[in-house]
A and B are shown apart, each in its own frame.
Chain A
């Protein structure tokens, strides 16, 4: 069975500093990998995805993620955090099955302080 781990319930970072939100997965084969963000009382918003190709994926709002096959990781990064980046972040995998259902990590709350 596939699983996704986000080892940090919360990440605190000062505005302007770089941020990393960690994600590791356990899925057979070559899954699709995603990051979504959730603001309070809102649905999930797509940030970026890895399908194939370059291991560094760039997405919305200046976020990027690095796929590392040997470490089965897909960490989310941003060079300079904004207070408005404060939200709940979810990593998800799709094992390329017929239904493309997503398996989510438990989420990481990012707090960016001025």
Chain B
């Protein structure tokens, strides 16, 4: 079946603008994760959704970052008032109970 998809694949924005990144997990996967991959920080966890439970936001770097998951499926990561240090590849992953995480291709965000 289809894997995890993310859109857009690339996003260039100006400093101070808001951006929205989308993730479509694999159908039936109850858990969804966002990670960030940057040169300086490597791969770091951002936020985790499991079913209808409250998300684990412990990895979000600042209150400019937020995410939601509608209907237990699609997720949107929003970054408000983007800064240059937000430039990174944002990866989404999903899993079903007992499985490994399946990653999407990522969204490359460039903040000018």
Contact = CB atoms under 8 A, between A and B. Distances in A.
Interface of A: 34, 36, 41-46, 49, 90, 92, 99-107
Nearest to A36: B103
Chain B contact residues: helix, strand, loop or mixed: strand
A99 B48 contact: yes
B4 A43 contact: yes
B51 to A, nearest CB: 12
A43 B59 contact: no
B43 A101 contact: no
A102 B103 contact: no
Q: How large is the interface on B (under 10, 10 to 19, 20 to 34, 35 or more residues)?
A: 20 to 34
28 contacts: A34-B100, A36-B103, A41-B105, A42-B105, A43-B91, A43-B105, A44-B93, A44-B103, A45-B103, A46-B100, A49-B100, A90-B43, A92-B43, A99-B48, A99-B50, A99-B56, A100-B95, A101-B33, A101-B45, A101-B56, A101-B59, A102-B33, A102-B43, A102-B45, A102-B101, A103-B45, A104-B42, A107-B42
A103 B106 CA distance: 18
Interface in B39-64: 42-45, 48, 50, 56, 59
Nearest to A92: B43
B60 to A, nearest CB: 12
A43 B3 CA distance: 11
Interface of B: 4, 31, 33, 35, 42-45, 48, 50, 56, 59, 91, 93, 95, 100-106
Contacts of A34: 100
A110 B13 CA distance: 33
Contacts of B50: 99
Contacts of B56: 99, 101
A86 to B, nearest CB: 19
Given A99-B56, A101-B45, 10 more contacts: A43-B91, A90-B43, A92-B43, A99-B48, A99-B50, A101-B56, A102-B35, A104-B43, A105-B42, A106-B42
